[in-house]
Each structure stands twice: as C-alpha cells, then as structure tokens.
Amino acid sequence: MNIVIFSQTFPLYPTDGTAHFMYDFARGLSETGHTVFVLVPFHPDLKSNLFEGIHVVPFRYITPDSLHLLGYGRTVANDQKIPWFVYLLTPLYLLCGAIALLRLVHEERIDIINAHWIVPNGFCAAIVSRITGIPLVITLPGTDVYLAQTNPLARFMSRVAITWAREIVSNSPQRKKHVGVVIATAGRMVAKKGFEILHSIYPEIEIITNLPIDKFRRKLLTVDIFVAPSIRDKNGNLDDASLVVLEAMAAGCAVVVSDLPGYRMMIKNGKNGILFPPHDTKAMARAIECLRASGTLRQKMGTNARKTVASKYTHLKIAAAYLKIFKTYEIYTH
C-alpha cells in the first residue's frame, strides 16, 4: 500500500526530539511493508534525505525561504494564540499544500491519505480526497481541536474536513467527541431564557442575539446543537414554545429544550429533539453530551426537526391554520 502522511511538523533530522513520534509512526508503517511518503512544509534545517525507509517530501509555499514560518510548533503560540503572520501565510500554505499533495497522489499512485492535524492539513487533504477519490483518514493530536472550537476560520475548515474524511482517529475519545461540534443558544438576555443555568455548566457557549433575521438564520446553519433551557422566572414569566427553537429546527440543528407544554407540541422526545426537565442541569448536560458524541444521532435529530417545521410550521401552514379559525366567524361579517 502506498501511504502519504500529510503533517505540519516532523523531526528536522533522525535524532531530533521535536515531534519524533511522527517519525516513529512513519517508520512503523514502513517496517510493516508499506511505502510511506511524508509531506511536510519546507523548513531550512530539514534534512529530508537522512530518513531511511521513508520518503520525506517538503513543499514550499512562499519566497524567500526565511518566510517559511508555519508548522514545526510555530503556528500556534503557547498552543493557544495564533500569531498575526499565520493569517497572512495560511492561504498560501493551503494552496501550495493542496497542489503538492495532489501531485504526490498522482505521481506515486497513493492509496491512502493520512492528514495529521485537522487544521490546516485536514482541510487541504479533504479537498484533494474529494477531487481524487483517495480515502482520507484524519488524526487529531490536540491543539487543532482547541482551534476548531475557538477560531471561526479553523471551525469552518474542520467542518469541511470532517464531512469529507472517511475516518477520524484520536488518542483521546473526549477530543474526538468535541472536534468541530458547535453548540449555541439564542434569544434576548432575559431571565426566563435560562441562560444563567446553561452558562453554569457550559461557560464557553455562544449566545446568539441582536442579529438581523437573515444573518441570524445563516448563523444557525453553522450550529450543530441548539439548546433552549427555558424556565419560569422568579416573577412567574414563562418562556415556552419559543419561536427561536423553530428557527433552529428549520436550520437542521439538533435541539435540546426544556420539557414544557408548548415545546411538547413541537418536539417528540428522542425523535426530532430532546426534552429535559427545566432547571435539571445534569439531564441537560447528558442530552448535550449524547448528541455531541454521535454525529449520526445529531444528523437524525436535525433532519427530523427540519421535516417537522416543513410539515407543520411554515408561514403558509400557519396562515392556513389561522384562516380555518377566521372562516368560522365569516358569517358574522356579512
């Protein structure tokens, strides 16, 4: 089998301690009888000809060579912050990396593409896999998952990569479970929405508010799990059957909402959404984590939610229901 490993870091020479696990991994595949190519970004100190048993192929993405600053532990400062130059170099990296990978796939008759780090390499590899039909397996080492959750550009690239990859591999089930899954809620910042309850267990959750309807609906298309922790506030005001939940369902989100009478009319528990007792943070967390762990379940719930809105809650369906009521009183107007 001809295998290409697309990585953004690699030892600069066989005894270099930096990312030596990548060399060990490549050697393991090679020593079991497979032909292994390792595609990596250019580094002026890389001694690609010293690695026995594997073919290390560097690609350039900018001139002069001193501007090759991506990869090899330099892309993310302290594994958290992205330096300014990354945003300038990333488009070149993506373009040149994809071209180099495409050329390698064709010239060496590659059977499998294995991309390490879902961003940016997984995104590049996903495009090449889509073009060539060569199966893509993505490996998640760690920092890429953090970026996929916190950076909008990385989140977009990770979603593309996940969609087109055949398999996602990680040494952490938790990391694999979290990658690329966007959780959000929406509405006015009022007590009855229950945002404080949600924020107590998911402090990083995004609250979508104060957007024009067109931007709001586009935003919902990027959300995987939509949570509505509606409650009755201390003054007795109840948030039930909020229209924002129907908007989320129409966008194909898997919805998790409080078990209240109005929501029960919209949601069949376990079919087109999940209901949980109001104020029950443990039940809410279980529902969210269940959906976060299963892409198949999220897709099923989201598809059924969209069908529910299409069959019962479009503007024409609502108008027809109102007209049925209005017409019962038509006799009194003539």
Cα 72 to Cα 70: distance, rounded to the nearest angstrom? 7
Q: Which of 148, 41, 154, 140 is nearest to 99 (CA)?
A: 41
Cα 84 to Cα 238: distance, rounded to the nearest angstrom? 46
Q: What pLDDT, on the 0 to 100 scale, is given for residue 80?
A: 45
Task: Spell out the domains of the chain, with CATH numbers in brackets.
Answer: 2-178 (3.40.50.2000), 183-318 (3.40.50.2000)
Q: What pLDDT, on the 0 to 100 scale, is given for residue 76?
A: 54
The helix/strand/coil state of 321 is helix
Cα 123 to Cα 128: distance, rounded to the nearest angstrom? 9
Cα 14 to Cα 24: distance, rounded to the nearest angstrom? 10
Q: Which residue ranges in the chain fall short of pLDDT 70? A: 74-84, 141-151, 171-180, 330-334
Cα 19 to Cα 163: distance, rounded to the nearest angstrom? 27
Helical ranges in the chain per DSSP H = 20-31, 84-107, 123-132, 143-150, 152-164, 173-178, 195-201, 213-220, 243-250, 261-266, 281-293, 295-312, 315-327
pLDDT tens for each residue of 239-274 = 888 899 999 999 999 999 999 999 999 999 999 999
Q: What pLDDT, on the 0 to 100 scale, is given for residue 78?
A: 42
Token look-up 């090449």 returns 128
Cα 82 to Cα 120: distance, rounded to the nearest angstrom? 13
Token look-up 């709001």 returns 216
Q: What pLDDT, on the 0 to 100 scale, is given for residue 160?
A: 84
pLDDT tens for each residue of 84-106 = 677 788 899 999 999 999 999 99
> Count of CB atoms within 10 A of residue 54's CB?
22
Q: What pLDDT, on the 0 to 100 scale, is given for residue 79?
A: 42
